Amino acid sequence: MSVISLWKGRKKYNGVGERLDTRRNTENGKKEAMSYERYHKTLVEVKTIRPHVKELVDRCGTMQAAAHYALVAPNTIGRILAGANETMQKSTASKLMIALEHRRKEDRSNNRTHKRLLKARQQQARIDKEFET
């Protein structure tokens, strides 16, 4: 028998010799399939995190340095900035936000700002100025 095999869609073998019921009891005593709502609450939209990730990359200088600082894979930051995914894990988002917060504190305490962040701010100021005129 395989590690996970379904038996009439109601019970599954967990590999230890026990069969676990994958359905839950409702208020009226009937059983129904479990929902995935709890899992989906652990996801956040990438578009809400993207500006913060961009700022972290600008403050660190490169995507690799930002990924190393935030303890995530460089591929993750690349996918966020490229908009490859619509959602991401809440734990990854919190790692990125905490890293940005710490990087801001470090920059403030050292009275320094990365050249890439300065260039990004200057470019945004130029765009805003052109837009106003």
Amino acid at 12: K
Average pLDDT value for residue range 116-126:
83
Q: How much is the pLDDT for 40?
A: 58
Q: Which amino acid is at 91?
A: S
The residues spanned by each domain of the chain are 6-34, 44-132
Choice between 64 and 28, residue whose per-residue pLDDT is larger: 64
Cα 96 to the chain's mean position, in Å? 8
Distance CA 36, CA 39 (A): 5
Site of tokens 């490859």:
84
pTM above 0.75, yes or no: no
